[in-house]
Amino acid sequence: MKNTNKTMDLESEDGHFLISAEVVKKQFVNKAGKSSDIYEYYLRRSIQDYFIKFCESKVSSEDIDAYLEKQKDRFIQTINVEVEFRDGEWDNCGDGEQQSRVGEYVVIHKIKG
């Protein structure tokens, strides 16, 4: 039996995935190694953290924070979401501020109760 270190994904009717994952906030560090007061959000899935690209998502970081506030007493905060996994530019949102980070990321379509 092959161990993939990944939980099973359930597929929704429209081809997205229904997952439960830990939400991790990381302080943004630019290419020069300087950290800022900006925090980025990631969904932790087993052995990989997926950057949440909010400019393509249908939920905001405020929506995530409000959901997690209900779990503030928990050591690990998880969220049930409908997502789409993509590969491409993380920072290209058409607002002029870009690094050059590319790779796998996640778009959140819905928070599931």
> In sequence order, which residues have a C-beta less than 8 Å from that of residue 103 and are 6 or more positions away?
51, 87, 90
pLDDT-flagged residues of the chain (< 70): 1-9, 12, 95-99
State the Cα–Cα distance between residues 35 and 38, nearest whole angstrom: 8
Q: What is the pLDDT of residues 69-92, one digit of tens each?
A: 998 888 888 999 999 999 999 988
Q: Does the CA dihedral 33-37-43-47 come out positive or negative?
A: positive
Q: Please tell me the predicted confidence (pLDDT) of residue 1.
A: 43
How far does Cα 24 stand from its chain's mean position?
8
Report angle CA 36, 60, 91 to the nearest 5 degrees.
Answer: 50
